[in-house]
A = this chain, B = another copy of it.
Amino acid sequence: MRSEFDFINYIKERHKLKVVGDDCSVVPKDSLSDHLFTVDLLIENIDFRLDWTTPAMLGHKALAVSLSDIAAMGGTPKYALLSIGVPDSLWKTPFLDEFYEGWHSLAREFGVELIGGDISKASELVIDSFVIGEVPKGKALLRSGAKSGDILFVTGELGGSSLGLLLLENGTRPDPEVEEILQNAVLRQLKPQPQVAIGILLLENKLATSAIDLSDGISSDLAHVCKASGVGAAIDASKLPITKGATLEMALDGGEDFEILFTVSPERRSNAFALGAVEIGEITSESNITLLIDGEPRPLTPKGFDHFKRA
């Protein structure tokens, strides 16, 4: 069956779409700024489970995933619109109030204003999050700017969200009484922190030559960068900042870590370290992506999340 990426590419070509391709769409705003637009659709029992999270954490995550897209392009989030399809059973409970509390709590942290939305009845809970950001004109961080020799960095831990998902599947729940390692992973899955501040610094300091948010897993997201930039990459497994308890596979293919993967020219390497980012490899002039394990290069193939390939 065709994947969702195949389908999106088909629609782009069929209808000659130009803007679709980065984490956000970039559209001219005024003489100084561009607008960024991003949207994320979350569906009950596909993207979240109500018995694994709290309404407030779900509200937080619904906004966080979109803020992460703005962050990866170096933007400042400004406004949001929120569409919700709600089952009757939830409509009668405090669910929505708590959901909006969680959403607004994160929105206040980043100065995001809710300016609209829509609400409908549905048989399962559906959340669609639109966020509008701003970026200095022509300066948005794109996937397409990586050059051979550039150094690859990530802004934080990998694999934690995927480990958290496994723990949730096996019965662990958000609970301060539970061992800290488990809770860290569970919270990375349920309540991810978007890297908005670092994204803005990457842009303001003209540091990143390319950037993407790690929503699908580094094996997929790095492939997007390499394809858009016309380059290859080599990453070193021993350098990956893997969340305690997570596996290499989780770090590579797990997705939903919502850290930023970015590239920096070699002479700016120390500036990236100063932001607390972790070096994980480099961009090459090859056409493939390799993973060094114990010094042995192996091909790294995209195995990130695809809604229509997984069971």
Residues of A within 8 A of B (CB): 1, 4, 7-8, 11, 14-15, 17-20, 24-25, 27, 29-31, 35, 37-43, 45-47, 79, 81, 83-85, 88, 91-92, 96-97, 100, 104, 113-124, 126, 128, 130, 132, 307-308
Contact = CB atoms under 8 A, between A and B. Distances in A.
A132 B19 CA distance: 14
A75 to B, nearest CB: 14
A31 B32 CA distance: 12
Contacts of A39: 81, 83, 116-118, 128, 130
A39 B4 CA distance: 23
Contact of A132 (B37, B41, B85): B37
A142 B24 CA distance: 30
Contacts of A37: 79, 81, 115-116, 130, 132
Most B CB within 10 A of own CB, among A91, A92, A122, A126: A122
B43 A119 contact: no
Given A115-B27, A123-B124, A83 B132 contact: no
A124 B121 contact: no
Contact of A83 (B41, B84, B122): B41
Contact of A126 (B7, B38, B81, B122): B122
A308 B121 contact: yes
Given A30-B31, A81-B37, A42 B4 contact: no
A10 to B, nearest CB: 8
B4 A119 contact: yes
Contacts of A123: 43, 45, 123-124
A206 B131 CA distance: 32
A126 B85 contact: yes
